[in-house]
Amino acid sequence: MHHLKIVAVILAMVAPAMAARPANAAQANVAVAANFTDAANEIQAVFARSTGHEAVLSFGATGQLYTQISQGAPFDVFLAADDERPALAVSEGYGVDGSVFTYAIGQLVLYSADASGVVGAETLRAGAFQKLAIANPSTAPYGRAAVEAMKALGAFDSLETKIVHGQSIAQAFQFVETGNAELGFVALGQVSQMGSGSRWIVPQEYYGPIKQDAVLLKRGEDNEAAIAFLEFLKSEEATAIIRKFGYEAGL
């Protein structure tokens, strides 16, 4: 009897929250590449307001998220940080054919929490620092772009021993923000809204373009919210937010 009472109390607390959602509202689980965290949070809020649907966001490195998807993770939509994994998802049978599109083109930034920490390419060549944070190149496209840029600048060999890997671009950014690494390669989308620190936007010719593709996953094929979320991502409202965070979008 006692247990029933507890259940009743819990139901009484939860029921109003459940009733508050519109009758036709659905929910989609969205796997989001870590660099897109801030933009995705803002888009999620606007999406909820304008459609009544709910997008539940999970963040991680693109490679990590892909591994999870390949092992049956309950995601309906995948916002990757490259154009490889979404294509792979379709060819391996996890993604819906024809649903892939580029929602953003990212830019790589050399960032320091210190206002005078980064001047430009010469900061890398001078090497007057102890630790340089990047995202794990084998799972995070921005990490791979960072390695490409250092190689193109001829600075990779001298910097290799100073590199520390974050599990995702979010951890790499955190290492720089906490001051444990003086410098880091991060996404412009992570730092564009910040007033502090110093940054150098790495010219695009030094690394392969970071085309960030989205894909509808098989699990979300019939999910109204998942389909609506991808449509919303292409809308003027969403692309304005994406551009605000320093990506190219809506091309």
Partner 1 sequence: MALFSIGGRALSDELWSPIWLTIQLAGITTFTLLIVGIPIAWWLAWSTSRWREVVGAIVALPLVLPPTVLGFYILVALGPQGLGGWFGHLAGVRSFAFTFEGLILGSVISSLPFMVQPVRNSFEAMGRRPLEVAATLRASPWDRFVTIALPLALPGLLTGAVLTFAHTIGEFGVILMIGGNIPGETRVLSIAVYDFVETLRWREAHILSVGMLVFSFVVILLVSLLARKSKGRAL
Please give the residue ranges that form the binding site for partner 1 (CB under 8 A).
61, 63-64, 67, 70, 130-131, 133, 136, 138-139, 163-167, 175, 178-182
Least spacing, CB of residue 61 vs partner 1, in Å: 7
Nearer to partner 1, 101 or 156 (CB): 156
Nearer to partner 1, 88 or 105 (CB): 88
What length does the chain have? 251
C-beta separation of 64 from 189 below 8 A: no
C-beta separation of 141 from 203 below 8 A: no
Interaxial angle between packed helices 236-244 and 224-234, expressed in degrees from 0 to 180 and rounded to the nearest 10: 60
Element (DSSP H or E) covering residue 164 = strand 163-166
Least spacing, CB of residue 164 vs partner 1, in Å: 3
C-beta separation of 103 from 233 below 8 A: yes
Least spacing, CB of residue 97 vs partner 1, in Å: 22
Nearer to partner 1, 175 or 185 (CB): 175
Least spacing, CB of residue 179 vs partner 1, in Å: 4
The first and second tokens of residue 179, run together, are: 């001051």
User: Token match 């551009």: residue?
Assistant: 243
Least spacing, CB of residue 67 vs partner 1, in Å: 5
Nearer to partner 1, 178 or 193 (CB): 178
Q: How many CB atoms lie within 10 A of CB 122?
A: 11
User: Token match 């695009």: residue?
Assistant: 204
Nearer to partner 1, 67 or 102 (CB): 67
